[in-house]
Amino acid sequence: MKAALVGADGELLHQARRSTGRERGPDSVVESILAFAADLRAHGEEHLGEPAAAAGVAVPGIVDADRGIAAYAANLGWRDVPLRKLLSERLHGAPVALGHDVRTGGLAEGRIGAGQGADRFLFVPLGTGIAGAIGIDGRVEAGAHGFAGEIGHVVVRPGGAPCPCGQHGCLERYASAAAVSEAWAEASGDREADAADCAKAVDSGDPRARAVWQDAVDALADGLVTALTLLDPRVLIIGGGLAEAGETLFTPLRAAVERRVTFQKLPSIVPAALGDTAGCLGAGLLAWDLLATTPEVSAR
């Protein structure tokens, strides 16, 4: 878990990290979050002169932000955790916003990170899987059921590799950091080799690595062109482990997207700027948004 005390302009006043303690079960994770937040509140009171006026929390899985409920998280074992209520109680009644981890990270990237306030953006982190956050006029679209932005499960290779979601040929089976790691381990014969090693081999001119890399870039471009055809974003922000390859990824990716568009306008394609602090900065922005939209809170 990453946490921070965040100033009004997105400034990081204090940062901390802790383990979730998930090996001790789902309830223990909830308690870890509550205790962490309470300690941050105390830190603000002691070192900054006042406790945080509001809190934001971003969690993985299926999130019902309106009701403040973490509905489902497979890796934490959660079902219907009323996180907003629990956290507000622990924080002496402070208002709390609950968000989805990728959408919340996307909010920060779009507003104060790589998007620099873009009115329309798409944030796509390439990690173990691939997710997405659709930014529209300063907020991130959740969809009717909380599933908007799941670009990782757009089919780009019909009849292709099976995906845990039940489909075949999903984008994340070809262009996630995990998929590239798997493909390069196979092609190089080194079971320990990962996506970062593949990028290095691409840079040194290894033809096998170039083939693996180009397959991923082409699949990613196919998925992104589908997205930009639907959404017409001004900026495409690419993050996650694979984006750490820098221009080794971005130069061929921009070319591959450009080759595919016909009438569509090309968005700028940029690397994410906030790294793994995007989620907690975004949670801070959610908290500040609460203060801005709740008159009785901002008057305190």
3-state DSSP call for residue 29? helix
Q: Which is nearer to Zn ion, 174 or 288 (CB)?
A: 174
Report which of 17, 37, 9 is spatially closest to residue 277, judged by C-alpha positions. 17
Q: Which is nearer to Zn ion, 21 or 61 (CB)?
A: 61
Q: Which is nearer to Zn ion, 26 or 60 (CB)?
A: 60
- Minimum Å distance from CB 167 to Zn ion? 5
Q: Where are the alpha helices (DSSP H) in the chain?
A: 26-47, 83-90, 101-111, 172-175, 177-188, 195-203, 207-231, 247-260, 278-293, 295-298
Handedness of CA 142, 19, 17, 95 (dihedral sign): positive
Give CA–CA dist 139/41, Å, rounded.
26
- Minimum Å distance from CB 180 to Zn ion? 16
Chain residues 109-168 in contact with Zn ion, contact rule CB under 5 A: 153, 163, 165, 167
How many chain residues interact with Zn ion (CB under 5 A)? 5
Q: Which is nearer to Zn ion, 38 or 155 (CB)?
A: 155
Alpha carbon 162 to chain centroid, angstroms: 23
Give CA–CA dist 270/129, Å, rounded.
19
Q: Give the x-and-dash track for 167-196 against Zn ion (CB under 5 A).
A: x--x--------------------------
Instruction: Evaluate whether 79 touches 89 at the Cβ level (below 8 Å).
Output: no
Q: Which is nearer to Zn ion, 129 or 252 (CB)?
A: 129
Contact call for residue 41 and Zn ion (CB under 5 A): no
- Minimum Å distance from CB 74 to Zn ion? 14
Which positions touch Zn ion (CB under 5 A)? 153, 163, 165, 167, 170
